[in-house]
Amino acid sequence: MTLSQPTSALDLQSKTSSLRDRMQKAQKAALLGPVRDKAGELDAAASGMLRLAHDLRERGYAWERDLEARCIDLRDRWAGIRPGVFSAMERETEALRSRVADAEWRFNGALAQATDYESALGPLSQADQAVAGLESAANAANDAIDNMFDPLGVEVRKLSTTLKSLLEQLKQAAGSSVAWRAGESLVRAVKARWDRDGKDDPKGWLYLSDQRLIFERDEEVATKKTLFVVTEKKRVQEIQIDEPVARMTELEASKRGLLKNEDHLDARFGAGARFPTVHFHIDGQDCKEWSLTLRRLQAGELEATRAVPISQADRDRLANAPRHCPTCHAPFEDPILRGQTAIKCAYCGTSTPF
């Protein structure tokens, strides 16, 4: 069937418009922009990781004593392949120039002859083949160069993301209302809601140090409403759960929600705890990582990675802490924590400094 003139004109306009879009994208791809950007990001991340590690140490991050060595290793590995990567970019860009020129020449020629549907079909077909060849060659060049460094880039991005997250957690802990003890080292921190009774459950932060599990309520609460509209607020910060790690028996992780994308933790404690079980809905971290971290902490695996050593004086002080109340002679049953300066007797209330 012969196409009517309006239909032919619309079809021709559609073909040329589509080819123009593809041509523009292929020209950009031939400059290897995506892979250049990716290499630039890797440049910045690899050179900035050691500074992030130093910032963590200055803020008291005590773990992963090989952290700086890992940063240096990744930085040096990138430095070793970087010249080859950028040389390949220039070589491939130069090799694509002739394909770009040929595709542009055929595309412009096709546009010049696109006065009617029939006469334009041949030149448009040739231009289409040239653009397709340019697209294929540009994509192949991008992929080949990307494969030169992407495995290393994955490692760098993962470690860099972890360092930035830890730095934010340490900043959050420093600004909290928690009375951190001397020698106490933060392990993890995450936004959390204490699922208590389902109504006005407190929101805040869950902290895990090498000594304690702490939940701090930290949120804005309404103090005044006018016609059901909140007109005044205040920030509430208060410690609602503060339990020694030694008292924890389990930190069970579970994925919930319709898509199983909600992270939940059930913390269970032994005798002496204010609450035998507490349930948290955490936001932004994997609940399974929290559960694994506690197991590593309690098994001594985390302590084996310590970069900031505990002084012998602190060790001796803890080892020589009193075990019985000097007033009623009852045994001290609560765990004694590093940095603790006094023990309160659960029976007579006497506070014994040490």
Domains of the chain: 5-174 (no CATH), 186-305 (2.30.29.30), 310-354 (no CATH)
| pLDDT computed for residue 119 by the predictor | 67
- Averaged in consecutive runs of 10 residues, what is the pLDDT profile of the chain (354 residues)? 49 81 90 94 96 97 97 98 97 92 86 68 83 93 96 97 98 96 94 89 97 96 78 90 96 94 96 95 97 96 93 87 94 90 92 92
| pLDDT computed for residue 4 by the predictor | 42
| pLDDT computed for residue 340 by the predictor | 87
| pLDDT computed for residue 114 by the predictor | 65
Q: Which residues of 196-230 are buried (b: 16+ CB within 10 A; e: fewer)?
A: eeeeeebbbbbbbbbbbbbbbbbeeeeeeeeeeee
Closest to 152 (Cα-Cα) out of 73, 47, 78, 53 = 78
| pLDDT computed for residue 324 by the predictor | 94
Query: Distance between CA 153 and CA 147 in Å, rounded?
Result: 10
Q: pTM of the predicted model, to two decimals?
A: 0.84
DSSP sequence for 138-205: HHHHHHHHHHHHHHHHHHHHHHHHHHHHHHHHHHHHHTSS--PPTT--EEEEEEEEE-SSSSS--EEE
| pLDDT computed for residue 107 by the predictor | 83
- Contact in structure between 217 and 202 (CB atoms under 8 Å): yes
